[in-house]
Amino acid sequence: MKNLKKIFLFAVIAGALYSCDDAYDIVQEGEYQEANAFRTISDMNLALVEIYDNISNESEIAFTSVFTDEAAIASENGGQNLEEYRHQLFATNSYASGIWAQHYAAINYINRLIAGSENIVLDENSPTFTDDQAEKSRILAEARTLRAYCTLQLLTFYSTNLKDDSALGVIISDHVPPTLPNLEELPRSTNLECFNFINADLDYADENLSNATVTTTVTKALVLGIRARMAAYRGHYTEALGFANDAIDERTTGGAAAAAQGLALASVYPDIWTDQNNNAEQILTLLRPTGKSGIVGNWFFNEANLTGGPFLDMDRNLYAELTENSRDVRQQVFIGATSLIADNYATVFDYRNEDIIVIGKYPGTPDDNLPLNNNLKPMRTVEMHFIRAEAQIAAGDLAGARTSINRVRRARNTGVTTNAQLNPAVTTPAAVDDMDISAANFDTPQEAWQVVLDERRRELCFEGHRYIDLKRLGADAGVLGIQRYERDCAPYSACDLPITDPRFTLPIPNDELNGNSVIRNQQNPGY
């Protein structure tokens, strides 16, 4: 009897212990481990698709617009972006943190793709070996171009002085960092090291990119454009001129009429901003279809018009520049049709609510039922024309620079209807050249720099350029600081920010300093 009891007891206990490991040896359904992630070239393509989705300059655009002199506090502002508007820029600033994190996240994904690609060994005996190899290189070339783009964006916002090769740049991230417990802490490299890193990626891309010309992915023109921009930012204008010319050439052989030198006529120009034409003047277009973040939301709650909840509108000084000439297509495109313009804006009692200049550059795509979404245009050929002009001024060729600027201005002139008329050498009716810069504006290099800076403000507003442009061109142009309209900025004590202010370089974000002790003594001055 006693034995029976024991047996019973053991049976029950054994039953309770039986298969107990199913309680703790658990792998969740659908876990896809990294070791299995890269097996074929199509896996690389899948990873590349996600990398593209993480490339963005939206935060740079949003930050630049409100921190410099492009945007102002609008009627529906309930506190949005007041800190940035008031230049309250600290190491905890969410843009400083976000721009840094977002580009390094993209670079991390790129590095994982590069590392994963090493697992993919192609069969040399396969009949498709050559094609496969080219395809693999093409994917890596696109990824590395994007890494170069991200690194240059980081340099643009976080390096104190891009003209100084020995100044501190950013962290070079060229491999998949090890995980806990072996976390790495990498210091900032010098600008020169960063430039070399970018160039190495671009060299690889030159060799391995296909001849694709679709601007929604990486093209050779983009590689050249990045080189041109980087050279200009460095002040290496001889190089910059060459790359800018090459980029324009590369872009025009891709379809745009050579005579236009890659510029869109005023008749086509609005289509760029409504996303009806991704190929007109863009060197890179980043698609933002349904389900993706909408750039319009950086200034509006609901829609890009007066009733769509504008919490930021256009600074009145920028408005004044855009409306200087009635033929300037940019005033129709960049200033929202629903704007509330007060004739007596200088004296009207409730200025904030009675003079609302709707930012129209990103009108959303309401026809596609996406009122908050527009594609991003991180690089356009017009920038190459400006780089060309800058290089010409730097080389003392003021006349050449004037020609370059006037070519852009003619392209924006609604009276100009043919590509031939874009050439400032061609004599044209008054309607065509009434937007041309006269020789008088170009008397001295300083005047020329100022014209370029102003023209860049007009053309490239809300594209994330103004912050770096004021910093790198302001001194030569004799522009002392931001140029906000007084009635916009005075209520916030936010009218003055000299170009020498350290806040023209973003702080290394506090979040990075927290996790990276070696960078803590490399914080930018002023923070």
Phi and psi based region of residue 404 (left: phi greater than 0; alpha: psi -120 to 50; beta: remaining) = alpha
Binding region for another protein (CB under 8 A) out of 261-269, 305-313, 433-441, 449-457: 305-313
Q: Report which DSSP code applies to 53.
A: H
Q: Which value, in Å, is the radius of gyration of the alpha carbons in the chain?
A: 27
Three-state DSSP at 83 gives helix
For another protein, give the closer residue by CB, 104 or 204.
Answer: 104
CB 168 within 8 A of CB 522: yes
For another protein, give the closer residue by CB, 141 or 370.
Answer: 370
Binding region for another protein (CB under 8 A) out of 11-19, 206-214, 226-234, 454-462: 11-19
- Check residue 369 for interaction with another protein (CB under 8 A): yes
CB 121 within 8 A of CB 27: no
For another protein, give the closer residue by CB, 380 or 503.
Answer: 503
* Residues of this chain, 142-201, that bind another protein according to CB under 8 A: 171, 173, 177, 179-181, 183-186
Whole-number minimum distance, CB 456 to another protein, in Å?
29
Residue 406 and residue 162: Cα distance in Å, rounded?
Answer: 28
Q: How far is CA 355 from the centre of its chain?
A: 30
* Residues of this chain, 446-485, that bind another protein according to CB under 8 A: none
For another protein, give the closer residue by CB, 476 or 511.
Answer: 511
Whole-number minimum distance, CB 299 to another protein, in Å?
14
Whole-number minimum distance, CB 211 to another protein, in Å?
21
In Å, how far are 129, 278, 375 from 284, measured between CA atoms? Answer: 30, 9, 10
Q: Report which DSSP code applies to 71.
A: E
* Residues of this chain, 223-242, that bind another protein according to CB under 8 A: none
In Å, the largest CA–CA distance within the chain is: 119
- Check residue 486 for interaction with another protein (CB under 8 A): no
* Residues of this chain, 23-82, that bind another protein according to CB under 8 A: 23-34, 36-37, 43, 46-53, 75-76, 78-79, 82
Neighbours of 342 (CB within 10 A): 17
Binding region for another protein (CB under 8 A) out of 8-16, 126-134, 223-231, 265-273: 8-16
For another protein, give the closer residue by CB, 20 or 425.
Answer: 20
CB 402 within 8 A of CB 442: yes
Out of 130, 131, 289, 439, point to the residue binding another protein (CB under 8 A): 289
* Parallel/antiparallel/unpaired status of strands 282-286 and 376-380: antiparallel
For another protein, give the closer residue by CB, 125 or 182.
Answer: 182
- Check residue 118 for interaction with another protein (CB under 8 A): no
Residue 392 and residue 279: Cα distance in Å, rounded?
Answer: 27
> Token digits for 319?
């408005």
CB 336 within 8 A of CB 305: yes
User: Nearest to residue 339, comparing CAs of 361, 363, 360, 311?
Assistant: 360
- Check residue 521 for interaction with another protein (CB under 8 A): no
- Residue 471, classified by CB atoms within 10 Å of its CB into exposed (0-12), middle (13-18) or buried (19+), is buried
* Residues of this chain, 121-150, that bind another protein according to CB under 8 A: none
* Residues of this chain, 370-399, that bind another protein according to CB under 8 A: 370-371
- Residue 447, classified by CB atoms within 10 Å of its CB into exposed (0-12), middle (13-18) or buried (19+), is middle
- Check residue 13 for interaction with another protein (CB under 8 A): yes
Binding region for another protein (CB under 8 A) out of 92-100, 396-404, 425-433, 498-506: 92-100
Out of 63, 67, 95, 100, point to the residue binding another protein (CB under 8 A): 100
> Token digits for 331?
């005033």
Q: Site size for another protein, by CB under 8 A?
A: 99
Out of 124, 347, 425, 515, point to the residue binding another protein (CB under 8 A): 515
For another protein, give the closer residue by CB, 225 or 310.
Answer: 310
Out of 262, 270, 294, 308, point to the residue binding another protein (CB under 8 A): 308
Binding region for another protein (CB under 8 A) out of 131-139, 195-203, 301-309, 393-401: 301-309
HSE-up of residue 320 (Cα within 13 Å, Cβ side): 12
- Check residue 4 for interaction with another protein (CB under 8 A): no
